[in-house]
Amino acid sequence: MHYLDYAATTPVPKAVADEMYRVLTEEYGNPSSQYELGRRAKELVDACRNTVAEALGCEPGELFFTSCGTESDNWAVSAACWKNRHVGRHIVTTAVEHSAVLEACRWMEQQGWQVTYLTPDANGGLTAEQVLAAVREDTALVSVMLVNNELGSVYPIREIAEGLQAAGSRALLHTDAVQGFLKVPFAARDLGADLISLSAHKIGGPKRVGALYLGGRIKNPRPLLAGGGQEGGLRSGTEATAQLAGFAKAVELRRAQLEESLAHMSEIKAYAVEGLTSIPGLRVIGGGAAPHILSVSLEGYPSQNIVNDLSAQGICVSAGSACHRGKPSHVVAALRLPKKVAAGVIRLSFGPETTKEDIDAAMRALRLHQTGRLPML
């Protein structure tokens, strides 16, 4: 099998799985229990928080664990809107956000909020000036992702934060950094965002665990879940200690070889661009700077047919975000591409384990389209 869909999810290293198994079988206490087994579990949760916070570049007390990136995004939108409800009822976001942000914003629209959806240029680019121009006096929240999950576009979060501060805006800034964490170097303390969403399974950790950074301007946020008071009383529920241990171990492994991993993924992406663009009718979509995401279009061929055909040959790529489940991508639609180009977009995404042989296999399979094996539109 040639796995080229790391933006959807990542393989779990043995060291991560081993640590999760150890916690499941040896450190299974409830962190809220007062006896030794419970105290050890509490210490484990604290250690995991320290590990992830250090990698993010924030204080442990600013990081709150969630069940996934989607939960983090939803919580960020609702918490920011609640915090700034007296500022106004306007949100600025982009038309190419992950559906976890877009659907949360649409839910706010149903509550009477106004949302401005900014459209990127044909290459997926978005400027800080474009974002700042949309901010009004009654803007409560600006939500712009750090790295687009389909195009690999890196958006200027620091410049947006600086612009908001210079303008004296009271709007809070959220960024979905699920595709940026440990893939595009940044630190929360320098980025300037008030809320930052993370997910473990995009970096070699388990599914169903994520985190939300709440910066210094988020004082006394509205709790996401009421109950036993876990996560500082903001996100109650017994901590998923094994998942947290896996998250922390994945962070440790990525950080230990971060420079090498980023350089390797950049090399793989450059190799893929050079090889794939030699295929007649294939073009790169967007100008994404992230090292691990590459979207291309085989003009005239339906993307889902391409995905299915490559799958039959043991090659895993996607037709966009895995969350679309085969439906047309709102990200590609926002680029306003010609119909046949948009219909043929597929995404390849890479990880530290990706090899040039994986790329070669994908190129061989795509060249079969030149024989007319797949029906054209």
pLDDT digits (tens, 9 = 90+) for 56-71: 999 999 999 999 999 9
Answer yes or no: do 249 and 298 share one domain. Answer: no
Question: What's the confidence (pLDDT) of residue 287?
Answer: 84
How many beta carbons lie within 10 A of that of residue 100, not counting itself? 22
| HSE-CB for 120 with a 13 A CA cutoff | 29
Answer yes or no: do 87 and 228 share one domain. Answer: yes
pLDDT(13) > 70 = yes
pLDDT(300) > 90 = no
Question: What's the confidence (pLDDT) of residue 354?
Answer: 98
In a domain, 272, yes or no: yes
Last residue of a domain, one of 255, 287, 305: 255
CATH number, domain of 67, equals: 3.40.640.10
Q: In percent, how much of the chain has pLDDT > 90?
A: 93
Q: How much is the average pLDDT of 23-44?
A: 98
Split at pLDDT 50, 70, 90, the class of 219 is confident
Answer yes or no: do 90 and 204 share one domain. Answer: yes
Collapsing DSSP to helix, strand or coil, 303 comes out as helix
Q: In percent, how much of the chain has pLDDT > 70?
A: 95
CB burial of 274-293 (b: ≥16 within 10 Å; e: otherwise) equals ebbeeeebbbbbbebebbbb
Answer yes or no: do 225 and 164 share one domain. Answer: yes
Q: Which of 58, 105, 316, 323 is catalytic?
A: 323
Question: What's the confidence (pLDDT) of residue 270?
Answer: 98
- Region of 17 please: left (phi>0), alpha (psi -120 to 50) or beta: alpha
Question: What's the confidence (pLDDT) of residue 5?
Answer: 98
pLDDT(377) > 60 = no
Collapsing DSSP to helix, strand or coil, 212 comes out as strand
Q: How much is the average pLDDT of 89-115?
A: 98
CATH number, domain of 341, equals: 3.90.1150.10
Question: What's the confidence (pLDDT) of residue 169?
Answer: 98
Split at pLDDT 50, 70, 90, the class of 373 is low
Answer yes or no: do 43 and 6 share one domain. Answer: no
pLDDT(337) > 70 = yes
Split at pLDDT 50, 70, 90, the class of 320 is confident
Q: How much is the average pLDDT of 82-101?
A: 98
Spatial neighbors of 36 by CB under 8 A, at least 6 apart, are none
pLDDT(370) > 90 = no
Q: How much is the average pLDDT of 31-55?
A: 98
Residue pair 74/100 in contact (Cβ under 8 Å)? The answer is yes
Helix (DSSP H) and strand (DSSP E) numbers for the chain = 13, 12
Q: How much is the average pLDDT of 317-346?
A: 83
Instruction: Return the amino acid letter for 95.
Output: A
Supply the mean pLDDT for the chain: 95
Clarify whether 81 is annotated catalytic.
no
Q: How much is the average pLDDT of 301-329?
A: 82
Residue pair 170/118 in contact (Cβ under 8 Å)? The answer is no
pLDDT(322) > 60 = no
Q: Which of 355, 330, 68 is nearest to 199 (CA)?
A: 68
Answer yes or no: do 197 and 114 share one domain. Answer: yes
In angstroms, what is the C-alpha Rg of the chain? 21
Q: How much is the average pLDDT of 85-106?
A: 98
Question: What's the confidence (pLDDT) of residue 308?
Answer: 93
Answer yes or no: do 239 and 153 share one domain. Answer: yes
Q: How many domains does the chain have?
A: 2
Strands 195-199 and 210-214: antiparallel
Q: How much is the average pLDDT of 201-230?
A: 96
pLDDT(301) > 70 = yes
DSSP state of 328: P
C-alpha of 163 from chain center = 24
Last residue of a domain, one of 193, 226, 255: 255
Split at pLDDT 50, 70, 90, the class of 279 is very high
In a domain, 376, yes or no: no
Last residue of a domain, one of 220, 255, 290: 255
Instruction: Read off the pTM.
Output: 0.96
Residue pair 203/182 in contact (Cβ under 8 Å)? The answer is yes
- Measured CA to CA, the distance from residue 321 to residue 337 in angstroms comes to 18
In a domain, 330, yes or no: yes
Answer yes or no: do 213 and 87 share one domain. Answer: yes
Split at pLDDT 50, 70, 90, the class of 160 is very high
> Can you give the residue range of the structural domain that contains 330?
2-10+257-371
Answer yes or no: do 138 and 283 share one domain. Answer: no
For the purposes of burial, counting CB atoms within 10 Å of the CB of 47, is it exposed (0-12), middle (13-18) or buried (19 or more)?
middle
Q: pLDDT per residue over 161-212, tens digit each?
A: 999 999 999 999 999 999 999 999 999 999 999 999 999 999 999 999 999 9
Question: Per-residue DSSP letters for 115-181?
Answer: EEEEPP-TTS---HHHHHHH--TTEEEEE--SB-TTT--B--HHHHHHHHHHTT---EEEEE-TTTT
Sheet holding 293-298, edge to edge: 282-285, 293-298, 345-349
Question: What's the confidence (pLDDT) of residue 368?
Answer: 82
The angle formed by the CA atoms of residues 327, 176 and 55, to the nearest 5 degrees, is 130
Answer yes or no: do 209 and 69 share one domain. Answer: yes
Answer yes or no: do 91 and 223 share one domain. Answer: yes
Answer yes or no: do 52 and 137 share one domain. Answer: yes
Q: pLDDT per residue over 287-298, tens digit each?
A: 899 999 999 999
pLDDT(129) > 60 = yes
Q: What separation in angstroms does the CA of 148 have from each of 64, 101, 107, 307, 360?
A: 23, 12, 22, 20, 25
In a domain, 377, yes or no: no
